[in-house]
């Protein structure tokens, strides 16, 4: 899937931190650190990464402290979240976005981390400094029994500035020939929807929006997509990319209602091209995607390409 240039590998200094939910097994943080070290990276585990305060990885102050420590550490290039869960929503009005953007760090995460990525883009505005990344979680995709080397390679190549494009298969043959450019943005559907009406949702026009989620029944996914539709968010984009929606259970009461029903319904009510199949979500194989970067989307048959 990834397409890269041939520049020599750069030594990466990565900090692992926990800005959201508590990591239940601290050993998984060490597993991820070992994997990254074996891949040639220098890894630092933040002092608060394994904290547990109720369901959170530390108090609000402790988790904000992790952001600030990493921003101030001149040796760290990449800040990789250990997991999602819940917790970043509590911090959005307390983070120093100018400081974090000016630090030059590459902030990477997914799921709950979407709240931070979108807030950064909203507060700083589309720029190189505001780019964050939707990518693997250290204790999920990297320290997983289902570990996929494609996920790690894509992450490392992106962090080293080697990745020029990624490709994926889509079942959306009706968009063959699509060629659009726009700011790539999005992430977890529930997190993005929760930011509607706040100062932390960027107002992106003519963008390429990608969405994924976990543990949400298709009717809930439809409800959130309709909220974005009625709020004018979907129609303002040039294209919408759907990743994986996983870990839900259909019931007899659904009577044939399923995820495809939702996608077909939204397509019928939104004239923006909607593609499926993006490797993003709570699955082993995920791309590392630059949120806030001007990106070109090309579709040839059932092959879709994102060019950065």
Q: Which residues are catalytic?
A: 111, 212, 282
Per-residue DSSP letters for 29-84? HHHHHHHHHHTT-EEEE-TTTT--BTTBSS-HHHHHHHHHHHHH-TT--EEEES--
Rounded to an integer, what distance in angstroms lies between the CA atom of residue 210 and that of residue 225? 12
Within its chain, how far is the Cα of 29 from the centroid?
19
Q: Which of 12, 281, 283 is nearest to 158 (CA)?
A: 12
274 vs 243: CA distance, rounded Å:
11
Q: How far is CA 277 from the centre of its chain?
A: 15
Quick one: CA dihedral 196, 201, 205, 206, positive or negative?
negative
Asked if 101 and 168 touch (Cβ cutoff 8 Å), the reply is: no
């Amino acid at each position: 899937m990834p397409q890269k240039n041939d520049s020599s590998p750069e030594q990466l200094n990565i900090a692992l931190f926990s800005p959201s939910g508590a990591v239940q097994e601290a050993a998984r943080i060490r597993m991820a650190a070992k994997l990254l070290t074996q891949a040639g990276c220098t890894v630092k585990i933040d002092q608060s990464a394994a904290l547990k305060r109720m369901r959170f990885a530390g108090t609000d102050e402790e988790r904000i402290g992790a952001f600030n420590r990493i921003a101030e550490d001149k040796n760290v290039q990449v800040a990789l979240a250990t997991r999602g869960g819940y917790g970043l929503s509590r911090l959005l009005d307390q983070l120093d976005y100018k400081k974090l953007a000016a630090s030059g760090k590459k902030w990477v995460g997914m799921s709950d981390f979407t709240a931070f990525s979108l807030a950064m883009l909203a507060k700083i505005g589309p720029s190189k400094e505001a780019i964050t990344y939707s990518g693997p979680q250290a204790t999920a995709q990297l320290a997983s029994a289902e570990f996929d080397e494609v996920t790690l390679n894509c992450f490392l190549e992106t962090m080293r500035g080697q990745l020029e494009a990624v490709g994926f298969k889509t079942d959306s043959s009706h968009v063959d020939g699509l060629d659009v450019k726009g700011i790539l943005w999005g992430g977890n559907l529930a997190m993005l929807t929760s930011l509607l009406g706040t100062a932390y949702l960027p107002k992106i026009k003519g963008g390429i929006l990608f969405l994924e989620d976990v543990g949400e029944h298709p009717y809930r996914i439809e409800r959130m997509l309709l909220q974005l539709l009625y709020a004018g968010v979907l129609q303002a984009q040039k294209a919408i990319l759907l990743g994986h929606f996983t870990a839900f259970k259909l019931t007899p009461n659904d009577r044939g209602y399923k995820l495809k029903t939702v996608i077909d319904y939204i397509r019928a009510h939104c004239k923006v091209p909607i593609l499926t199949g993006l490797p993003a979500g709570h699955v082993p194989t995920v791309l590392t995607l630059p949120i806030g970067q001007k990106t070109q989307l090309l579709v040839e048959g059932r092959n879709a390409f994102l060019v950065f």
